[in-house]
Chain A
Amino acid sequence: MSESATPQNFDLEVNGISYPISADQGKNLLSVIREDVGLTGTKEGCDDCECGACMVLLDGQPVNSCSYLAVQAQGRTVTTIEGVMQGEEMHALQRNLLDEGGVQCGFCTPGMIMSAHALLDRNSNPTPEDVKIGLSGNLCRCTGYAKILAAVEKTAAE
């Protein structure tokens, strides 16, 4: 049984801090971030790569952490929603989501911000269609997306 398996020992860098991890090799990155590292901003919505609530950046690229083994992230850098603030200041994406009304229940918000972050990192001047496609892996049930899309477009324009 997996419970009795020898754990894997490795270091995991999350938001610039290196954490020693001892976890079963089958444990996904999401669970390690939430349970072993102790950061709960990254959410579990489907466990299936279908909702995007678990989105983190791995070496700057978006990854569904529910479907990625934590052991595979060793030697790479992980960024979660807790690593998006710039010191005491909110990132423009965070501020604009609030100003534009792009946050309702907030459960999809961390994943949405990580996808938007990755999108703007690779494309600082996205078209509205680029933004839609860039966020298409993050389901939101509250907003109908309009105000989220507006917030990301506003951030790109700043």
Chain B
Amino acid sequence: MSLNEAPKFVRADGPDKVTGSGRYTADMNMTGQLVAKFRYADVAHARVTKIDVSAAKATPGVLAVLTAADVPDLRYSPVVPDRTLFVKDVVRFEGEIVAAVAAVNAATAQAAVDSIVFEYDGLPVVTDLEAALADGSPIVHEGWESYGVSGDTVQRPNVASFSSIEKGDIRAGLAAADHVITSRYVADASHALPIEPRAVLAQWEGNKVTIWTSTQVPFDARNGVCETLQMPSSRVRIIVPHLGGGFGGKCGFHFEAHIAALARASKRPVKLVFSRREEFLAPDRRREGMIVDITTGVTNDGTITAREGWIAIDNGAYTADAAFFPQLAAMHVAGPYVSPNVFVESSLVYTNHQPSGSVRAPTAPQACWALESHTDEIARTIGMDPVDFRRKNTVDEGLEGPAAQVYGEIGLRRCLETAVANSAYGSQLPENEAVGVAVGWWPSFPGPSGAYIKVDADGSGQIITGAQECGTGSVMTLRYLAAEELGMEPEDFELVYQDTSAAPYDTGATGSQTLLNNGRAVIEGAREVAAQLRDVAADQLEAAAGDIVLADGFAHVSGSPDRNVSIVELAGIAAEGEMLIGKGSGTPPDYPTVSATCVGDQGVAGWAGPQFSCHAVRVRLDRDTGVVRVLEISAAHDSGTIINPIAAHGQVEGGITMGIGQALSEGTVYGDDAKQRNAGLLEYKLQTAADAPLVTTEFIEIPDPNAGPRGAKGLAEAPNVPTAAAIANAVAQLIGEPVRQLPMTPERVWAVSEGSSS
């Protein structure tokens, strides 16, 4: 369906957002509210010798000062519990919190923060991934063996989580090849960078706390507070006002417990609003730097015989949610290609950098960039057209992927053909322009999710959902699903969302899962209400409930549209009796099991609802300076059935633009002291409106029977996966060899082109 033919899905939260009346967390204020400020370690690796907050506590206007001594002594984080709320004995990255202050205003809070005495003995910093893995490297977490990791997690010195995927016989496969191509690619870390800096406001009433916070995952945030402050979930309520974007950066549990603890200690509401600089330095959710070594054996006719990979991922100082990254990165380095023999080893390496965490398709854009650059190297080596090479080797229906999952009907090859056909690939271009092509993939993430639906006496309804809207429009789409089940209009429904005490559990705006899982829950809840409506209508119309049809605001008897009663009337009748209340959750789709050998299995080798994509990107190179401009992008995506086309196109356009930034301008620069050097928007460069290329998107809609409503898969992360890779392949065509570092800054492009032309 083209966008022009699609129904217009106008967002329910849209008027709030275009008129300025919508409240984001930083817009909320309460009488008596205090301002929170943190004292950061500002050193990347050190042993603490002294923390003295007495001057801060004595500052007039300061009502609370907290350190590690003031909160329960425990380590948290899923899978690898290696984190504490405050610095205890050792600082492991610059953004760790030494102390938190609540004061009557910002200047007083800052003065108190500045008065805190923090002394330490510096320790050698761990910044280089390979050095961190070498014998004799300083250890970021002494005592890591005692942390008590969960599941099948495998750890080693300075390795928080190790995974490997093995299939067939890698040595025999490489020996059978006519050509063996080996490449190394190195990606810098980057940032999620939502435009809204995070904010938290906490207020206690008795022994209950309500926390308004800019989180993508309200239930995770609640669980983090419960775990670290040792409270039952019944006494912690998380409310998310409008959320100003996340991209994974606001996933996980961030600072809610610090602010709740400050509010409890000061007996006042306390509010935290981050500066942009703090937003760069403190959260444990940046996109991870990565080293990828990849070797592929091919025969002269372009058949892959074996693929071997070695991956080191920069975990940073703490593991956040990254324990599954090694296995996921391994899947992306092996890639959506058929190879009988696969062996990939992947390590999540501790350093003294800011922690990594799930940012939009974690590990995938970097790993895809490495793999797809390598793929073009293979094609060049054997003299084959790179698109033909992909036509020959990509996974398809009935074929087996790297972890030995056999796929049903999938659209990867159609994505490839469509994106290429809609691009200038193969046509005559100016000498400083080229089209690069890359394919990508990404899983869907089934999980538990719930919603309530009610229809009140006047016939208008509410969807009370645990789902979190981060901007994508997924929650907005739920109204359409409910309305369709009930024969009502989307506008008949109000959304009540982002309140952990009102709605049942949902994973949150993470893993592109909202429509996939909460859509199922809403449909199931709406079906309960539909059954209730049919029962009431059956009484009214003297028909069997099974013969009642709900459509266009009326219930009528099947085959007799004139025998009808309005839903408004039925709602009024029901309100006097059993009422119209539904609940839904539904059974999540299964995760396929795979037969490859998966050491350190984190459950991300078998993919439900696998999504596929291809981007073909036309770039122009300024050969004298290495500046690359992206002119046009042709994208094709298989994310199953598309339910909300305008939002889906918006996800692709936004993901692509993020991908362009990653490709060309976004990279964190670390000093030798392991501190960020470009923690600001002037030196960390996002793409601007002036840089926006022409984007053409087509969806290859193949309903997936083991995915979401109507066969929809996830979508929001997938568009971020192949863009940098496609740009890289265009640049490599223009300068004769790949740029092996990401981002491919003008200076890096220039340096490679100088090297290859001299």
Contacts and interface: CB of A to CB of B under 8 A. Distances in A.
Tell me if chains A and B make direct contact, with any CB pair below 8 A: yes
Interface of A: 1-3, 34, 39-48, 50-51, 53, 80-82, 84-85, 90, 94, 97-101, 103-110, 113, 131-133, 135-149
Interface in B460-504: 470-473
Interface string B191-209: 0011111000000000000
23 contacts: A3-B105, A40-B20, A41-B19, A42-B20, A44-B26, A44-B197, A48-B276, A51-B681, A94-B19, A100-B646, A101-B649, A104-B245, A105-B195, A106-B16, A107-B195, A132-B690, A132-B692, A135-B689, A139-B681, A143-B650, A145-B653, A145-B692, A149-B692
B656 interface: yes
A82 B21 CA distance: 7
A2 B654 contact: no
A50 B510 CA distance: 28
A134 B21 CA distance: 25
A98 B105 CA distance: 38
A3 B105 CA distance: 9
Interface string B1-40: 0000000111101111111111110110000000000000
Nearest to A110: B20
Nearest to A45: B195
B23, B107, B688: residue with the most chain A Cβ atoms closer than 10 Å: B688
Contacts, number: 176
B654 A136 contact: no
Given A106-B242, A135-B689, A145 B17 contact: no
Given A40-B27, A51-B195, A105-B470, 18 more contacts: A40-B23, A40-B26, A45-B195, A46-B681, A81-B19, A84-B20, A90-B19, A103-B18, A105-B242, A105-B471, A106-B242, A107-B24, A109-B18, A139-B688, A144-B653, A144-B695, A147-B646, A147-B653
B682 interface: yes
Contacts of A97: 14, 18
Interface in B238-261: 242-247
A44 B658 CA distance: 21
A109 B682 contact: no
B647 interface: yes
B595 interface: no
Nearest to A131: B689
Given A143-B653, A144-B656, A105 B245 contact: yes
B19 A82 contact: yes
Nearest to A139: B686
Contact of B689 (A104, A106, A107, A145): A145
A146 B193 contact: no
B295 interface: no
Nearest to B23: A40
Nearest to B197: A45
Interface in B438-478: 470-473
A105 B196 contact: yes
A137 to B, nearest CB: 8
Contacts of B682: 48, 50
Contacts of B639: none
B107 A1 contact: yes
Nearest to B694: A146
B234 interface: no
Given A48-B276, A101-B646, A105-B470, A90 B18 contact: yes
Given A45-B195, A51-B681, A105-B245, A141 B686 contact: yes
Interface residues of B, number: 60
Interface of A is mostly: loop
Given A98-B11, A104-B473, A136-B688, A142 B17 contact: no
Contacts of A105: 194-196, 242-246, 470-471
A1 B401 CA distance: 65
Contacts of B471: 104-106, 142
B244 to A, nearest CB: 3
A44 to B, nearest CB: 7
B695 A146 contact: yes
Contact of A141 (B18, B24, B658): B658
Nearest to B659: A144
Shortest Cβ-Cβ A-B pairs, 4 listed: A41-B20, A106-B17, A105-B471, A107-B244
B105 A104 contact: no
Contacts of A139: 195, 681, 686, 688
Contacts of B9: 101
Given A3-B107, A141-B658, A99 B18 contact: no
A47 B18 contact: no
A84 B19 CA distance: 8
B275 interface: yes
A145 B657 contact: yes
B680 interface: yes
Interface in B659-718: 680-682, 686, 688-690, 692, 695
Contact of A94 (B18, B23, B196): B18
A50 B17 contact: no
Contacts of A131: 689
A104 B245 CA distance: 8
B351 interface: no
A113 B20 CA distance: 10
A55 B27 CA distance: 16
A3 B682 CA distance: 30
A45 to B, nearest CB: 5
Contacts of A100: 646
Contacts of B653: 143-147
A48 B686 CA distance: 14
